[in-house]
Amino acid sequence: MGLLDDLEQEAQRRKAGADDQDRAKQEREAVYRTQLEPGMAALHEYLSKLTQNLSFIKPRKTFRYPLAGYGDLVLQVEHEYDLKITSQPASKEIKLSFPCPIVTDECPSVEILGSTKVKSVAGTFQRFHIGGVAITKKDANGEVLAATVKARGRIVLAAVFSADADSGAVRMQFSNFDQMGGQQTKTVTGEQFNESLYDEIGRYIAREQNNLFREALPDDYRKQLRTKVQQEELKRRWETQMSQRQREELAEMERQQGLAGKLTKVVDQVKGGSFFDKLRGLVKKDK
C-alpha cells in the first residue's frame, strides 16, 4: 500500500468521525429544542406554583445538620423564596434559593475546652458564617483555653438547574440541602426530564419523602455506609467523654491552684514572723 492510499484511508476515517460528531451535535440540539427548552419552562412554572403555595401555607419544617465538635445544628425553613430564570439562544438556567434560620433555642450549648478544639470549632462556624462562639477563658499569654458555643444565624439553601444544546441534558445542583457546605448533583436526559421528575424535585425542595437521589446501592457499599455511621457515632461519644474529662481536670487544676495559693500565704506569714509573734503573745498572757 502506497503513501497516497494511507493518506486516503486516514482522511476517510477522520471524515467519518467528523460526520458522527456533527450528527451527535444535531441530535443534542434537537433534544434541547424539543424536550429540554419546553421542559425548563414547565419546571419554572412548577417551581413558581410550589413556592407560592409554600409561602402561603408556611408549613413548619425543621431539620438537623451535625457539626463536628459541636453537635446538631437545628434549622427551620423560612419560606421566603427567590426564583429566577435566565435564557440564552441555546441554554436556560433556573435558580432557586431560600434562607433557613438557625433555631438557637433548640441548638445545644456546648463548652469547648482546649485551644486546638476551640480554634477548630470557631473555624467551622466562621466558614459557614455562623455566630455563637463566646470565649470564656484565656491564659496569661492571651491563648484561648475555653469557649461556650451556641449556634445562631442562618443558612441559605440553593438549587440551580441548567440546560443547554451543547450537552443535550439538564444538570441539577443543590447546595446545603443534605449537609452543611455539601452539594448534591444530578444530570438527567431529555427523556427523564418530565412531570414525574418535577414532582421529585418539588418533594426534595419541600423536604418531603422523595426518590430524587435514591439509587440502587450494592450491598457492599451499604455495609460501608453503615460502618461509617457507626464510626462517627463512636467518635462523637469519645469527644463527649474527653470534653467531660477535660472539664474535670480543669476544675481539679483550679482547686489545686487555690490550695497552693493558701499554703503560700501561710508560709509567707511564718517567714515574716507574724505566726511566731502570735504564739509569743499567747505565752506572755499565760504568765
Q: What is the mean pLDDT of the chain?
A: 85
The span from the first CA to the last CA of the chain, in angstroms, equals 137
**CB proximity list for 66: less than 8 A, separation 6 or greater:** 72, 73, 232, 236
Q: Has residue 261 got a pLDDT over 70?
A: no
Q: Has residue 282 got a pLDDT over 80?
A: no
Q: Has residue 247 got a pLDDT over 90?
A: no
Q: Has residue 223 got a pLDDT over 80?
A: no
Q: Where are the alpha helices (DSSP H) in the chain?
A: 3-31, 37-57, 115-127, 195-205, 219-271, 274-286
Distance (Å, whole) CA 236 – CA 229: 11
pLDDT on residue 228: 75
Distance (Å, whole) CA 66 – CA 8: 64
User: How many Cα atoms occupy the beta-carbon half-sphere of 170 within 13 Å?
Assistant: 28
Q: What percent of the chain has pLDDT over 90?
A: 60
Distance (Å, whole) CA 140 – CA 138: 7
Phi, psi of 175 (to 5 degrees): -110, 130
How would you class 47 by CB atoms within 10 Å of its CB: exposed for 0-12, middle for 13-18, buried for 19 or more? buried
pLDDT on residue 278: 56
Torsion of the alpha carbons at 207, 213, 216 and 219, rounded to the nearest 10: -80
Angle between helices 219-271 and 274-286 (to 10 degrees): 50
| pLDDT confidence tier of residue 216, bands split at 50, 70 and 90 | very low
In this prediction, residues 224-231 reach a mean pLDDT of: 73
Q: What is the pLDDT of residues 19-40, one digit of tens each?
A: 667 788 899 999 999 999 999 9
**Residue with the three cell numbers 467551622:** 124
Q: What percent of the chain has pLDDT over 70?
A: 84
Q: Has residue 286 got a pLDDT over 60?
A: no
Distance (Å, whole) CA 115 – CA 101: 29
Q: Has residue 204 got a pLDDT over 80?
A: yes
Q: What is the pLDDT of residues 81-122, one digit of tens each?
A: 999 999 999 999 999 999 999 999 999 999 999 999 999 999
Hey, what's the cell of 74? Answer: 437545628
pTM of the model: 0.67
Judged by average pLDDT, the poorest of 55-59, 92-96, 142-146, 241-245 is 241-245
